[in-house]
A and B are shown apart, each in its own frame.
Chain A
Amino acid sequence: MVKHFDPTCPKCKQAFHVHHEDLRNAGVKLLCPYCGERFHVEEADSILEHDGRRWKPGAGARAGQ
């Protein structure tokens, strides 16, 4: 499987799979498949990285960059 990370939507708080190479650092808004919210990676409620680390973008250092 290609590497993916799982951001949690800031609006509906549900997580989904996103292709790491395509979208981790592309600066493009992600699309929440559950509620349709569009948000930047940094705006995610939390992120589960492909290596299993979970972090909250609003809470401090930007991991996985």
Chain B
Amino acid sequence: MSRLKLEQRQDESLSTHDLRDFIARVEKEGPGELLRIRDEVRPDGFEVTAILANLEERGRYPMVLFERPLNLLGEVSAFPLLTNVYASRTRCAMALGLTPQQHRLDLSMEYSRREARRLAPLALEREAAPVKQVVKTGLQIDLRELPIVRHHKMDPAPYIDMTPVMRDPDQGQYNIAFLRNMYKGPRRLGIHMSPRHNWQICRKYEERNLPTPVVIVVSHHPAFYLGALNVSPFGVDDYELVGSMMGQPLRLVPSETWGKDFMVPADAEMVIEGEIPPGVREVEGPFGEFPGTYGPQRLRWVIDVKALTHRRDAIYQDVFVGHRDNWVLGAIPKEGTLFNRIKGVVPTVKAVHLPNSGTGRFNCYISIDKKVDGESKQAALIALGECDFVKNVFVVDADIDPFDEEQVMWAFATRVQADQDVDIIKNVKGNTLEPSQNDDILTTKMIIDATKPVRRTFASRVEVPKEVREKFRVERYL
């Protein structure tokens, strides 16, 4: 059972629990960060992702609030649709109560600090829970009333791509994960799981021939979702970790289907409760996945929907999977953790970044103030060992900003001899969705040491004298 406390210290950096206050803050403090679209659009006809893709083509990544999306019945949905929330690190920093300027390593380190803490959730009475303002069960439920998004051409149906929550039947901890849910009918969804934590929980129920309770948190404050991506081991209660990420206890309320045996987030905009029947599999997918490529059609579990509860004026949320919205989300939780692990061995590590060009996962840029030859290789090996998503590690000197890809590529161009500075490591555990991998499990990793050697001379970088630059500041001319 998750520990529930009635009183908790609250972090003043976050004053509210809900999504709409976050939207208001972004609109007020982040000019250009929110785009409102008032035209009617068909999310299940690729019209939402068409607009996002066209913005992306112009190098624009605003959070987009579609105020009049159509639902699957072709009517204007009662629920506005919010997407692309995580496509900028600035907004992710704001979600954790940081300033927009703290969007680089500060953000990763703050994530890492919060991930290490736990904050017990708080139980609310049903009447006090916004997510219970509208409750539908049984035949009252019609998922076609939602503005569910069909993202990419080969997706067979609209998908809810937020976070199902499951509860371990033995230890009682809740686990939250981003998993894709295919629309299959008014009260039926498909669900894809990789062999990770929710898969383990579902397997336990199936072995007992029992349905697996599942709650999809369709929309909540973005700190909830950033917390959901934690890299903690199996057994950690994600409700406690999300509380730490939000800077205040996650407020919970009993579910409609299982009562206090399965608590749901009280401040969510919308949750879907359902059961995964044991032993049932149906075709699901293909689906445009996080690498920006399709995962194949599979034989996967289904969810029988039992309840839909939401705020009266709920906002429906979506992630633009396979794009920057998805990549930034993936990068932040890993950067702080990797930085801390590397610092334990290479104390002069300056920053770690998983760039969007590597889907926020596959490429890792590490800068170190190298004192001894070989430290670069140590740092790289830690990153590879710590996170199986990381495939290619670039280690650069402290004069290179790993958040500036042009600088990293400059170091790669001018400080690397392939026969001496590149190491290939074969047959390492990889990721099944990484499209270049030609084995189901094994991949090949690469270390590129783009640091200068310590024990011999090396051409210095050009520089314009600093004292002269300071005399001629460009503000005078711009």
Give chain A's interface residues, CB within 8 Å of chain B: 1-4, 16-23, 26, 28-34, 36
A1-B436, A28-B283 known; A33-B299 Cβ under 8 A: no
Closest residue to B440 on the A side, CB-wise?
Answer: A2
Which residues of the partner chain B approach A20 to less than 8 Å between Cβ atoms? 296
| In the complex, chain B residues 299-325 whose Cβ is within 8 Å of any chain A Cβ | 299
**Do B296 and A2 touch (CB < 8 A)?**
yes
**Do A33 and B296 touch (CB < 8 A)?**
no
**Do B432 and A1 touch (CB < 8 A)?**
yes
8 nearest interchain CB pairs?
A33-B156, A17-B296, A4-B296, A22-B299, A19-B296, A18-B297, A19-B298, A1-B435
Docked pose: A22 CA to B298 CA in angstroms = 6
Known: A1-B433, A21-B440. 14 other contacts (CB 8 A): A1-B436, A2-B296, A4-B296, A16-B294, A19-B285, A22-B297, A22-B298, A26-B299, A28-B299, A30-B283, A30-B297, A31-B297, A32-B156, A34-B153
Docked pose: A2 CA to B154 CA in angstroms = 17
**Do B297 and A3 touch (CB < 8 A)?**
no
**Do A17 and B294 touch (CB < 8 A)?**
yes
Which residues of the partner chain B approach A21 to less than 8 Å between Cβ atoms? 440
Give chain B's interface residues, CB within 8 Å of chain A: 153-157, 283, 285-286, 293-299, 432-438, 440
For residue B121, give the distance in angstroms from its CB to the closest CB of chain A: 37
Q: Is chain B's binding surface mostly helix, strand, loop or mixed?
A: loop
Which residues of the partner chain B approach A18 to less than 8 Å between Cβ atoms? 286, 296-297
Docked pose: A30 CA to B297 CA in angstroms = 8
**Do B283 and A16 touch (CB < 8 A)?**
no
Which residues of the partner chain B approach A3 to less than 8 Å between Cβ atoms? 440
For residue A20, give the distance in angstroms from its CB to the closest CB of chain B: 8
A16-B154, A17-B154 known; A33-B434 Cβ under 8 A: no
For residue A14, give the distance in angstroms from its CB to the closest CB of chain B: 9
Docked pose: A34 CA to B286 CA in angstroms = 11
Closest residue to A22 on the B side, CB-wise?
Answer: B299
**Do B156 and A31 touch (CB < 8 A)?**
yes
Which residues of the partner chain A approach B436 to less than 8 Å between Cβ atoms? 1
Closest residue to A5 on the B side, CB-wise?
Answer: B296
Q: What are 17 residue pairs bridging A and B, where the CB atoms are less than 8 Å apart in the complex?
A: A1-B435, A1-B437, A16-B286, A16-B297, A17-B294, A17-B297, A18-B296, A21-B440, A22-B297, A22-B298, A23-B283, A23-B299, A26-B299, A28-B299, A33-B155, A33-B156, A36-B156
